[in-house]
Structure 1
């Protein structure tokens, strides 16, 4: 198959095949010959990789589904570009290839979405529109998936940071999953920041319900409030935001550090670095830093830290930069 533009029928054929392989690889009677045939189909065209990866997303991210097919490692294959799926394409493919009416039942039961979108921003910010009309601004190095289910709209923030302007629908709640928690709204504006197992939610307008660690219920935020949680936190930490504008400065390409300790600043700084900046010890983490920086030039901030703080830089074994505190009795300059 060449790389020319496909007809709608050809596109549907690839979608149907991806759905078929998703189900066959999950079947108990799947044979070695079938797995070999699947490998050959996957290698035949880069578009097969893209379509099968998207089908995996639907099965593996929609965790209300009763079963999950084996996840095939596609890391070494061609990466998938950000794109929007045709409405109902995946559900229709499953309906054709599974038991009669299975796709329709999956939608009616809330197991399968009728629309899926995937977006990724690497070296520049992006503004994207979801199929429900909501608008999302993505920070650098951010990625999310969107699923429209019958009873809810669901976003998974895989990494990074996003600002949401949610289209109001009181009968169709909008849920953002980030780390080990979620934010539930019907229509509002808010920011979600995620780094490793840390998440911070900042509310701008309306109200949101934030829960962590799978706890039922949640805590309601009003405008100007923040909720933060880590892995294992049973309850999110709530605060009235004193750095409200600072948290949203990234939308203007700025990183604002307002008298933060280095231990507080590093998770924010590391979001923009290829390799994380490390602290030599707890004492180094207590040093405070301030300043306004360009989000595209955070690496220059790291190089300049010894010029404004009592620290010097070393390298760890894996090549990461380490901040070391200069002792008052040290001769280091």
Structure 2
């Protein structure tokens, strides 16, 4: 099936499948085998991934809709005699219908339920600079994905993966909130950086003030940072770890396209390296993780950094059963844990 010569029936079949996968993957009983089958379907054709992303965005916007407290669910009439419509058409119709009720009954925008704008941004092969609807500037590192929604009571960014530097337009009545992993960063106008890898998050403040909360289930929690401070947290942390950034901190070197490893233990360096890799590098053991590494590298060539490690460190590379590179220390060379 060629993307350039799709019939309407073929296109509808793809959108149907994308909608069904979207619903199934969000189900609580979705199995690992089903997720693997989805990945195979998604990777089989570029249009599969495109249509799934479209369905996912509709799903995410709908997820923010409130549920009226006295709503009654009525059965829908069978659509057997209706003209066939694609899942995208059904999805958009459902979204419009879902939006119409809260708007009419509860003035959804004025109550802060519905965004006036929604944007999705992604940086894959190169860094990207974008301007949000509120005028805030964002720089996206490689492999970064985020969304922006503008609500009456706040501006909301969801950092799905990667790293971003924010210059937020000041608006004390309209806070700017960045959700990352299990926590969030709340500001009114400032400059700061948010790095996320898996469930690890690091926030660095350059200008202004931010409130960092490591647990969204405690909305009244959080610790305030002043310029020159940073916060780190992982999923499940009750509170973030707060510290000062040192004078020669190179965490923002990515904005110049560089990854700086300043005599770091491999255990600390790998999350910074793996951010740029499709297959994360693993450590053979904790002792290997204590070997230190340094240097300045181009963020577009991090893959070659991994292959050169045996030339500069007392290590060798193997692969595990999943195909991940594994760093092993040469016998008798690993520092003690």
- TM-score bracket for this pair, using the shorter chain length: 0.7 to 0.9
Q: Distance in 2 between matches of 1:281 and 1:227?
A: 28
Q: Distance in 2 between matches of 1:207 and 1:229?
A: 18
Quick one: which of 297, 303, 312 aligns to 2:301? 297
- Structure 1 residues 172, 96: closer, same or farther in 2, change over 3 A? closer
- Structure 1 residues 183, 260: closer, same or farther in 2, change over 3 A? same
Which residue is equivalent to 2:324?
320
Which residue is equivalent to 2:277?
273
For the 8 Å contact 1:121–1:142, the answer to whether it is kept is yes
Shift of 1:272: 0.5
After superposition, residues 43-62 of structure 1 pair within 5 angstroms as 52-60=55-63, 62=64
Shift of 1:188: 0.2
Which residue is equivalent to 1:186?
188
- Structure 1 residues 317, 55: closer, same or farther in 2, change over 3 A? same
**Local SS of the residue matching 1:194:** strand
Unmatched segments (≥5 aa) in structure 2? 4-18, 24-46, 69-91
CA deviations over 1:276-307 (Å, ceiling 9, x no partner): 00000000001111100000000111011111
Q: Distance in 1 between matches of 2:296 and 2:56?
A: 40
How high is the TM-score relative to the length of structure 2? Answer: 0.73
For the 8 Å contact 1:315–1:322, the answer to whether it is kept is yes
Quick one: which of 291, 311, 330 aligns to 2:315? 311
Quick one: which of 235, 242, 251 aligns to 2:239? 235
Shift of 1:98: 3.2
Shift of 1:175: 0.3
Task: Provide the aligned C-alpha RMSD in A.
Answer: 3.0
Matched, 1:101 2:69: no
CA deviations over 1:116-169 (Å, ceiling 9, x no partner): 000011111000110000010000000001010110000000000000000000
Which residue is equivalent to 2:215?
213
- Structure 1 residues 55, 261: closer, same or farther in 2, change over 3 A? same
- Structure 1 residues 278, 165: closer, same or farther in 2, change over 3 A? same
For the 8 Å contact 2:143–2:276, the answer to whether it is kept is yes
For the 8 Å contact 1:91–1:112, the answer to whether it is kept is no
Shift of 1:259: 1.1
- Structure 1 residues 205, 95: closer, same or farther in 2, change over 3 A? same
Q: Distance in 2 between matches of 1:195 and 1:210?
A: 17
After superposition, residues 238-277 of structure 1 pair within 5 angstroms as 238-242=242-246, 245-277=249-281
How high is the TM-score relative to the length of structure 1? Answer: 0.74
After superposition, residues 128-167 of structure 1 pair within 5 angstroms as 128-167=130-169
Which residue is equivalent to 1:40?
none
Which residue is equivalent to 1:112?
114
Unmatched segments (≥5 aa) in structure 1? 4-20, 26-44, 68-88
Shift of 1:59: 1.6
- Structure 1 residues 328, 133: closer, same or farther in 2, change over 3 A? same
Shift of 1:105: 1.6
Q: Distance in 1 between matches of 2:210 and 2:94?
A: 30
**Local SS of the residue matching 1:106:** coil
